[in-house]
Structure 1
């Protein structure tokens, strides 16, 4: 059986980390995971699936001592492919895999915005380091055509790029009336409460402060914020100072996202910088009316060539799909849209076609092809790898 080592920077509750967990559940290959450093929240779930997790104990971003440990791990494992995820793992992983002589070196670029990557500015040194190590691999996967375009703009050759969208398991996010009742009871929300919710890492680029200000303008609406991150103290202070403070609930990081989505009546995502928009698709899989400012995954479904590549016409809206509406990213615009949904009719909660279009099966099939390819893509010589 094909053996693949996934290398990731950390195993917290972010989108890339959850994508890796999804792959471990569904890939028909033998997976192992190595983590450089940081939180290992999802390590237990991976091990429960029978996936070995190797902690490399990297001390800091420039801890070069991790390289020989990683090379040794790769050589001992005899992997057919090394697949890296997130910036630091891509830098170190491509170098180590090349030294170890791995035949297939693949990286997924999960989080590249116009001027930021994983919360860091895409400065000239960041871009140069990325380009230098990218040349040591075979294939770089962009999670959307938007990300592929940005990588081309950085100078990554088109022949080493492939777009494979993120995937999701719609069943994990399906609406559950039992979960709705349970989560609302746990959070002190009444059955009749009108609840606006959002899910994501609490960082400034997600602009959750917009929702705090918006809910203050919608009488009786409550706001449920699911997630954690460095911006949490600022957001909690802003919520405490808001006239709607008693109507705002922070849950912290949670793994049962489907259950928390079921507790909501409307999902809102005011982020203006998304590389894919997975949380929007998860909300649509739950059948939630969804307000968003940026979601490349939905934009791409308007392009016939993307639908053809996904091989799933279910991406086209159906009459019973939950509404998904683009909203300019101001508190006033979100307040107006939330108010309209509050006063509108109650709807059933079926999975939207857009969510079904990105079901994990297609993602898995295309990755297996890369893992097993005789010629997964061009790779430069060490001399050519210098920028």
Structure 2
């Protein structure tokens, strides 16, 4: 089976990284190529390093219609069985190009959709109407959580056209306990400049207002100087957050060694209330960390016992200050066993389910009535 993934860009981001992991773990017999409309970045390089062919289409802006015939011609030449789009712009152009090229199985993954926003941008009536027109050009829209599926249905996408298929993490890359983790932790903390007695609050994600990392910076001001902040990621808010946090915070920028960086942390904090899945929270759980979060659909859609080390808080500085103080003043405890949520969202499992969905759509069958892939 030949699959072309069409994505808006391939800089480091949640959807882009998820595409890389998914392709890496799809079942044998599925051959993937990737077309990026614009901005080939670090994920394009990583895909190529793994032998995946990446096509750069050189789109110059949202209204660069010249990309459409180029993409259509690429799809015709490639004789793909499936075209799978990711992110809003790629969904518009990719689904139309696939239909013009005669591809029968066309699907899109919706990574970041809320009632009034898509990918962090406010949605007006015109954008919403265009989205729904493009959606009808596909076979199925994949939602990464039940929350996203509900939003799609609220927007007017028929329930029978929606499949819920969650994101996944490479669980084997995270070392939750043992001597190897202890050695890695000591090395990483020394590299980052943390003292042995420091209590490190970690955060991972793009530095944009919606992630609400300012809540952690505010909480830090009211805690002991021994409580430090480690922020992994980059974005337009970095300079402002770093200036507000001062010397007690370390901002690493974009890094590819997140599993190693997690070992330097004592707790992972995720104060965003706008998540559509919550990958960073799951990675923290896989690394054996206690979790403080303000919204993680991936966990909220599982029983509480699937992640006993996770605690949901209001996204305000006072709540995080109190919770961090409680953790920092407790006696040290052993790293707990890996929770069930980690195995549930292992990328090997979710990629296998995506492969099954491709096959089902090729055979002309719809997703299950409940919208979930089994």
- TM-score per shorter chain, which class? over 0.9
Of 345, 358, 369, which aligns to 2:331? 345
Q: Which residue of 1 aligns with 2:189?
A: 184
Name which of 233, 248, 261 aligns with 1:227.
233
Task: Give me the whole-angstrom Cα distance separating, in 1, the residues matched to 2:239 and 2:348.
Answer: 39
Per the TM alignment, residue 316 of structure 1 is displaced from its structure 2 partner at its CA by 3.8
After superposition, give the CA deviation of every residue in 1:56-105 in whole Å (9 maximum; x if it has no partner): 11111111111111111111111110111111111111011111111210
Partner of 1:78: 79
Cα distance in 1 for partners of 2:354, 2:31 equals 13
* 1:106 counterpart residue number: 107
Contact 1:33–1:53 at 8 Å: present in 2 too? yes
2:145 aligns to what? 144
Q: Is the 8 A contact 1:291 1:325 kept in 2?
A: yes
Distance 1:231 1:103 in 2: 42
Unaligned 5+ segments in structure 1 are 240-244, 303-314, 379-387
Aligned to 1:212: 217
Q: Which runs of structure 2 are paired with 1:123-134 in the superposition (5 Å)? A: 123-134=124-135
TM alignment of 1:1-387, pairs within 5 A: 2-28=1-27, 29-175=30-176, 176-219=181-224, 220-239=226-245, 245-302=246-303, 316-317=305-306, 323-349=309-335, 350-373=337-360, 374-377=363-366
User: More deviation in 127-136 or 176-185?
Assistant: 176-185
SS at match of 1:42: helix
Secondary structure at the aligned position of 2:314 is classed as coil
CA distance in 2, matches of 1:182, 1:32: 38
**Which residue pairs with 1:385 in the alignment?**
none
Structure-2 separation of matches of 1:112 and 1:183: 35
- My pick for the range that moved more, 4-13 or 182-191, is 182-191
C-alpha displacement of 1:332: 0.8
TM-score norm. by structure 2 comes to 0.92
Q: Post-superposition shift, 1:173? A: 2.5
Contact 2:242–2:249 (CA under 8 A) maintained in structure 1: no
Q: Is the 8 A contact 1:290 1:322 kept in 2?
A: no
CA contact (8 A) 1:370 1:376 kept: no
SS in 1 for 2:42: coil
In structure 1, C-alpha distance between the alignment counterparts of 2:89 and 2:365, rounded to whole Å: 22
Instruction: Give the Cα–Cα distance (whole angstroms) in 1 for the partners of residues 350 and 3 of structure 2.
Output: 16
Give the aligned CA root-mean-square deviation in angstroms.
1.5
- Secondary structure of the 1:46 match is helix
Scaled by the length of structure 1, the TM-score of the pair is: 0.89
Match of 2:371 in 1: none
- Matches of 2:142 and 2:2, distance apart in 1: 19
Q: Which moved more, 1:63-72 or 1:367-376?
A: 367-376
SS state at 1:10 partner: coil
Q: Deviations over 1:120-155 (max 9, x none)?
A: 112212211110100000000001111000000000
- Is the contact made by 1:174 and 1:351 (CA closer than 8 Å) also made in structure 2? no
**C-alpha distance in 1, partners of 2:175/2:86?**
27
Deviations 1:337-383 (A, max 9, x none): 000000113233342221111112331222112222311549xxxxx
Q: Mean alpha-carbon deviation: is it higher for 136-145 or for 6-15? A: 6-15
* Bigger Cα displacement from structure 2, 292-301 vs 355-364: 355-364
